[in-house]
Amino acid sequence: MNNISSDGGTEKSKPGLTVLLPAIITLQLLDALCFPVTRYGTLIIEPYTFAFFRFTVSSLILLAIVRSMKHLCPIERRDWWRIIVLAVLVIPLNQMLYMVGQARTAAGHGAFLYATAPVWIFVLAIIHLKEKVLARRAAGIVLAFAGVMTIMLGGKTTFGVEYLWGDIIIFAAVLGWSYYTVLGKPLVEKYGALRMTAYAIAIGSALYFPFGLYRALKFDYSGVTAGAWGAVAFMALGMSVALYGLWYWVLKYMEASRLAIWHNMFPVISAAVAYFTLGEPLTGTFVVGGIMVLGGVTVNEL
C-alpha cells in the first residue's frame, strides 16, 4: 500500500488539470487581492511594521501546522542550506525589495514588472530544471505575455528615468520570486509543499525580525483601525500561508514553465474582480489583451 503524507513521499496518483485548475484560479484571485489590501493596510500601518506582523503571524501559523503533521522523510543536512537560500529569496529579496521599490517608482510599475515573472520562470526552469523547450509552450508564453503587455500599456502606466532605481529594485524582487519558484521545486517534490513553505517563510521572517521589531516598537498605534489589522491578517493567512503554500503545491505536480504561463492570468482575473466588485469598465484594450492571454494559456495546454 502506498503511503501519503505531507512530505514528498509516494503518491497514489498525480492530480489532473481538473483538480489543479481550481487551485490555480484561487492563486490568481488571492494575488489580485494582494495589491489593494496591502495598499490599504500600509496607508495606516507603516509598511515595515505591517510586514513585521504579517511575517511573524504567518510563520507561527505555518510552523504550528507543520509540527502537527507526520513526516515520513527527514530533511537532509545539505538541504537545509537550500531551504535557507529559499528563505532569503522569498523574504529579504522578494518581499522587502518589492516594498522598497514600490516607494521609489510610479503606481502600476510593480504589477507591470511582475508580469514579466512568467518569462523568467520559463527561462530559469530550462536552465536549472532542464525542462524541455517545447515549441507550443514557448509560443504560448510569448502570446500570453504579449496579452499582458497589451493590458498594461493600455492602462495608466507611465515611464521615466526618475523611476529607474525603483524599477530596478522591483525587477530584482521579480527575479527573487522566479528563483524561489524554480529552486524550490526539487525540494517541494522531496519534502512537500507546506513543509517547504513553512520553513522558508519562518527562516526568512527570522532574518527580518530584528529590523522589523525595531520599526514595530517605534510605531505609534493610536490611529490603527480594525480594518488595518484585518489587512495584516489577510496578508498573513491569505498570502503567506494560503497562496505561498498553494503555489508550491501546484508546482509539485506541474512543470515550472507550464505553471508560469498560467500566472499570466493574473491581470485578467484582477480586472474581472474590479469589474464585478467596483464597476470598473472593461476597455477594448483589455478585451484584446485578455483574449491573447487566454489564447496563450490554451496553446500551452493543447
Helix ranges (DSSP H) in the chain: 17-44, 47-67, 77-88, 97-102, 109-114, 117-128, 135-153, 164-191, 193-218, 226-234, 244-253, 256-262, 266-278, 284-301
Identify the three-state secondary structure at position 155. Answer: coil
Q: What is the mean pLDDT of residues 222-244?
A: 95
Residue 258 has which C-alpha cell? 507550464
| pLDDT tens digits along 19-42 | 888 998 888 888 878 877 887 898
Q: What is the pLDDT of residue 98?
A: 83
With 90 as the cut, is the pLDDT of residue 114 above it? no
Give the residue with greater pLDDT, 147 vs 171.
171
Which amino acid belongs to residue 13?
S
Percent of the chain topping pLDDT 90: 43
Neighbours of 283 (CB within 10 A): 13
> Domain-by-domain residue ranges, the chain?
17-301
Q: What is the pLDDT of residue 247?
A: 93
Q: What is the pLDDT of residue 3?
A: 40
| pLDDT tens digits along 251-285 | 999 888 888 777 777 667 766 666 666 566 667 77
| pLDDT tens digits along 100-113 | 887 777 656 666 67
Distances (CA, A) of 146 to 28, 143, 268, 289, 291: 18, 5, 13, 8, 11
